[in-house]
Amino acid sequence: MKILANDGMSKSGVNALEKAGLTIITDKVPQDQLIEYINKNQIDVILVRSATTVRTNLIDACPSIKIIGRGGVGMDNIDVEYARSKGIKVINTPGASSHSVAELVFAHFFGMARFLHDSNRNMPLEGESNFDGLKKNYAKGTELKGKTLGIIGFGRIGKATAKVGLGLGMNVLTNDKYDTPQHIEVEFFDGQKLNFDIKRVSIEELLQNSDFVSLHVPAQKEYIIGIKELEMMKTGSFLVNAARGGVVDEMAIVKALETGKLKGAALDVYEHEPKPEVQLLMNPNLSLTPHIGAATVEAQDRIGTELAEQIIELAKN
């Protein structure tokens, strides 16, 4: 069985596949050359992350493909149902990157609450000439402890984000379209565990009462956070989108920052990747990262290992 990990794969995953006697190729093939490469090399399995897309044209043009794997949670870059209708197995790793994304969310929250995203820009420019001025500008930081965290979308990543918030002493509200249990268990370094029942509320109540809001929803046809929703939010609140591009109205967020409705906003994903709007890139009130929610060594190891285990099991059958 030949496997093409077109967006890369961790060493742990590669080793596991090779140990099982499978051939793993980690060459990066450009999207427009992918069909030719797969057919020429008779690739059985294609593994992708977020860069490569697997659409109906590729599925139809590459009859050798038996398995499509997504290293991560969302599979909006794969035509999943069409692939399955053709008898192709489609797999992913929904839990492997949850904690990594949650930590990035709080990296943004902490950075914005203490102005790190802005001070890191200005200290190299003005630290020597305007130290006291910068100190005054960044003197009114905000603590997260005791504040309310609103989580929109309470799947695996939403739950992981809630656990971090609870560990910081935050009150947690959630909103989810599925009526899932709101019970979570927080595990500490020494093996101790605490159980929490999280309050599920309407999106209106969540926005009106949250100091910090984080989105953890799949790709949508319409904005989850638009002009109307931003108007509902507490004045001076913070917003992070590390879910999917297009679930928030980015230009409405820029306006909400300008008016002071939002004190800070952060984006790890964008409506127009890989070329975000210039208005976003140049805005000093935004905290920005280039879609790195799952980009930790630990998460990539888990992703690679989980994909390998699933492929090995499928290969046996």
Residues assigned a catalytic role = 244, 273, 291
Of 172, 192, 191, the C-alpha closest to 183 is: 172
Identity of the amino acid at 244: R
Which two three-digit tokens encode residue 214?
């984080």
**Is-contact 234 208, C-beta < 8 A?**
yes
Question: What are 24's strand-pairing partners?
Answer: 3
Encode 167-231 in three state secondary structure. Answer: HCCCEEEEECCCCCCCEEEEECCCCCEEEEECEECCHHHHHHHCCEEEECCCCCCCCCECHHHHH
**Is-contact 6 34, C-beta < 8 A?**
yes
